[in-house]
Amino acid sequence: MRQNDTAKFAGLKIGFEVPMLAIKQTVHRITIKKDKSNIHDPWIHEFLFDEPGEIGSGQNGGFQAINLAAQFGATGIALVGFDMQILKKVHWHGNHPSPLRNPDRDRLVVWREKLDAKAPALAQRGIDVVCCSPSALRAFPQMTIEQMLERWGL
């Protein structure tokens, strides 16, 4: 969505940065919590639930989206496109435009480890997370979308 179209959108708008004054009033700001005492890795890599809109990093947007969905009250989260691997030398959605970086295999290992390690925090809150596309994640059950819908009675 282009920035000039954002003001016209009537649905919920969230973002890390709100660049235009005209839309600042309608966009809910999300922050990724930091631990300023850790100079080597200042990001918090936990799912956070206490402050709405303050989420953990996990070093990737998927982790952050899961945290946000949990804060919104989701009791079931279907992961689609969370392959967490590089096939055919490209991230699943293709290369990012410059200046963004494309993940390499080592970065994906870190993402998988952080997400798999924090899966119990979601389960303890009664949030059922399932992978609905091929994935290298191991902490969540793997199933088709049809199986997920049946599991959740939808």
- Kindly state whether residue 21 falls inside one of the protein's structural domains: no
Please tell me the pTM assigned to this model: 0.85
Cα dist. 13→18, 21, 48 in Å? 10, 14, 20
Chain segment 14-56, per-residue pLDDT in tens? 877 655 555 556 777 889 999 888 888 899 999 999 999 999 9
- Kindly state whether residue 102 falls inside one of the protein's structural domains: yes
Tokens of residue 104, six digits: 């390499």
- Kindly state whether residue 51 falls inside one of the protein's structural domains: yes
What is the residue range of 132's domain? 33-151
- Kindly state whether residue 13 falls inside one of the protein's structural domains: no
- Kindly state whether residue 14 falls inside one of the protein's structural domains: no
Backbone angles phi, psi at 86, to 5 degrees: -110, 120
- Kindly state whether residue 48 falls inside one of the protein's structural domains: yes
Number of folded domains that form the chain: 1
- Kindly state whether residue 8 falls inside one of the protein's structural domains: no
Chain segment 119-149, per-residue pLDDT in tens? 999 999 999 999 999 999 999 999 999 999 9
- Kindly state whether residue 85 falls inside one of the protein's structural domains: yes
- Cα–Cα distance for residue pair 117/138, rounded to 1 Å: 10
